[in-house]
Amino acid sequence: MSKVTHLKTGVIVCFLIIAASFYLYATFSSQAQKSPDPYLTANQQAAQFPSNIGLDCAGCHGPGKTTPFLAGQEFHKDAHAASDMSVHAKIGPNGTPVASCKACHTVNGDMTTALPAENPQSTVNRANMTQTCGACHKEAVGTFHLSIHGSRSESGNAKAATCADCHGSHSIEPVKSTASTMSRANAEMMCAKCHSQNVADYDISSHGQAAKGGDLKAPTCLSCHTAVSHLTAPLSKRDFNLQMVNNCGACHTKQAPSYRDTFHGQATALDFKPAATCADCHTPHKNLPASDVRSSVHKDNLVQTCSSCHTNVNANFVMYSPHPEPDNADKSALVYYVSHFMEWLLLGTFTFFGIHTLLWIQRSIVAYVSEKHERSPDDDVYVVRFAKVHRFTHLLIVVSFILLAATGLPLMFYYTSWGQALEQLGGGLEVTRVVHRVCAVITLIYALIHIVYVFKKAVIERKYSILYGPDSMVPRLSDLNDLWNMVRWFFYLGPRPKLDRWTYWEKFDYFAVFWGVPVIGISGLMLWFPTFVTEFLPGVALNLAVIVHGEEALLATAFIFAFHFFHNHLRPENFPMDTVIFTGKMTLSRFKEERSVEYQRLVSEGNLDSVLTSPPSRFARVASKVFGFAAYISGLLMVGAIFITLILRH
């Protein structure tokens, strides 16, 4: 072979060797790019594969396929490691793990159903999570839909937290474990995934700082938000705030009673949603002490805080104390002394008339049993006892007073079942507060009617006897003499005293109303128009108005329903109902017996005929008894509930 031929053959061989080298280099380079780095995690390895090869779970988890190992490592290494340390890895009764990968990621172990979580058909998709977890946790999933997260998820809110958001996906620990995402130490981090601003506020709050300082009693997210998981969620944010009052009171035991002494506290106890709760004043998460300038209850921020509910708030208004302590003279001497004065007034009145009534009952029963009761001609003759104006005024008093008591007592006795039932019977505080104010206006009307009547008699008609003498309600020395003789009769030391037109106990009843109407009325108007009042008076005046209005109303209610009812209805000689105030008429025989001094005076003056009248009509008698018994029984039920409550409480 010639040299030229050998040269040609060598060139061709070299060319083939070079070409083969390039081919092999390109081939191995391409394979190297497709091979995962054994030192990368499963997720990082998966990320190296080009998207155009369509890798998904079914590519490895199909029928007849096993989980691949690359460089000695499983796919999803991190997930496996977390799951192996979780509560699901514990051995169950059948000797297998409580929950395997297939249990959560497939439908009945069918590997073709192992789909990415983003796939709507995936068993671990957010929309299907509760159903998947519920296969084992039937009780938990049965209550989850009641929670705030569950209810929102069911309503179509895709962002609402599901099981994995709170409990984790693979590293799931028992709720009571310190390693659990639901533990005190980790709950804040878990909640911050969705509620970052709330958690940020909590971090700087008194609660957050106490928790970070190691105070095991300091509340965390789950201490207050118990309905985020498996407890029934409140119907609204306002319902939640109302429920939280009791939660706050469980820790803040000093502030809770003082809060309940105010309208805010009493109204929230009766589920009145507009009333201010702890969260409204102290904020839900960024609650700080009043000394902190960032606090919503710092003195420089109170006008703004109170303005969220009240209009025209000024510096005087915020001097009102939402946590009054009537037994703490150092906090407010005015509140302390006014509160104790009203308590002693109540105690003194009830002590005196309680003893007076008990003595009267026993003596009256003995007298009624021992005395003869024979019918006389005077039983068919009637005299006028009350004029029409007085009967109309008394009718307004009865209606307004019963309704004022029925709508006001539930606030004072909010903690009793009867107080709550009475409030609900009236339609709730939204309705009863309107009724209460309407009756307050009626009270003002009958007070003006009586003032005009007295003014007309004394000034225009110049009948000054209405201001003094036997026809007047003004107390006289003879009333003290009647009281002394009455006490002697109680103790069987003398005869029953002879009485005039108005007795000492009737005058006390009269002035109880005469004193009570302006006291209760003015204090009530102050509470009705608080911002107007604080244009002229400091806010502490509202605290005093709350005390005076409540205590005086309690005194008036209990006195009228207990002692006034006894004086006029429960005595044996009047039992069961005295209708004179409604018909305005009484028999001549009773007039002679009960008002003997007035009777003798009319006879001696020749004026007896001026008071004689016809008997009341049948309609008047029936209507009087129906209306009277309705008011009478209502009052007795309320006063009975009051006394039982006060006795049991003390």
Rounded to whole angstroms, what are the CA distances from 70 to 45, 76, 388, 631? 9, 11, 106, 90
| d(C-alpha 563, C-alpha 580), whole Å | 18
Q: What does the DSSP 8-state code read for residue 314?
A: -
Q: Give the alpha-carbon dihedral of 198, 199, 204, 210, to 10 degrees.
A: 120
Q: Are 437 and 398 in contact (CB under 8 A)?
A: no
**253 three-state secondary structure:** coil
Rounded to whole angstroms, what are the CA distances from 420 to 161, 209, 257, 266? 37, 38, 18, 11
Per-residue tokens: 508: 């006390």
Q: Are 384 and 591 in contact (CB under 8 A)?
A: no
Per-residue tokens: 144: 């989850």
Q: Which residues pair with 69 in a beta bridge?
A: 74
The full DSSP string for 530-557 is: HHHHTTTS-THHHHHHHHHHHHHHHHHH
The residues, any chain, with a CB within 8 Å of residue 87's CB and separated by 6 or more, are 98, 172, 173, 174
With 0-12 / 13-18 / 19 or more C-beta atoms within 10 angstroms meaning exposed / middle / buried, residue 51 is exposed
Domains within the chain, CATH numbers bracketed: 333-359+378-649 (1.20.950.20)
The residues, any chain, with a CB within 8 Å of residue 286's CB and separated by 6 or more, are 201, 202, 204, 205, 294, 296
Per-residue tokens: 177: 């474990």
Q: Give the distance, in angstroms, between the CA of residue 396 and the centroid of all CA atoms in the same chain.
A: 32
| d(C-alpha 547, C-alpha 541), whole Å | 10
| d(C-alpha 100, C-alpha 559), whole Å | 74
Per-residue tokens: 587: 């028999």
594-603 — which CB contacts under 8 Å span 24+ positions?
A: 594/499, 595/499, 595/500, 595/501, 596/498, 596/499, 597/470, 597/498, 597/499, 597/500, 597/501, 598/470, 598/500, 598/501, 601/470, 601/500
The residues, any chain, with a CB within 8 Å of residue 649's CB and separated by 6 or more, are none
Per-residue tokens: 236: 């609204």
Per-residue tokens: 139: 């009780």
| d(C-alpha 380, C-alpha 618), whole Å | 14
Is the Cα dihedral 406, 409, 411, 416 positive or negative?
negative
The residues, any chain, with a CB within 8 Å of residue 637's CB and separated by 6 or more, are none
pLDDT on residue 77 = 75
Nearest residue to 168 via CA among 157, 151, 182: 182
Per-residue tokens: 173: 């620990």
What does pLDDT average to in each consecutive run of 10 residues of the chain (650 residues)? 54 61 54 43 40 45 54 66 80 71 84 84 86 85 82 82 85 81 82 89 91 87 80 81 89 91 94 93 93 94 94 94 92 94 94 95 92 87 95 96 96 95 95 97 96 93 89 93 96 94 94 90 96 95 96 94 91 90 95 94 94 95 94 94 89
Look-up: residue for tokens 């007034």? Answer: 345
Look-up: residue for tokens 């007298």? Answer: 367
Q: Which residues pair with 70 in a beta bridge?
A: 73
Q: Are 381 and 612 in contact (CB under 8 A)?
A: yes
Nearest residue to 191 via CA among 183, 203, 199: 199
Q: Within 10 Å of residue 17's Cβ, how many Cβ atoms?
A: 10
pLDDT on residue 302 = 95
Q: What does the DSSP 8-state code read for residue 351?
A: H
Nearest residue to 399 via CA among 445, 430, 431, 433: 445
Look-up: residue for tokens 């499963």? Answer: 42
pLDDT on residue 112 = 80
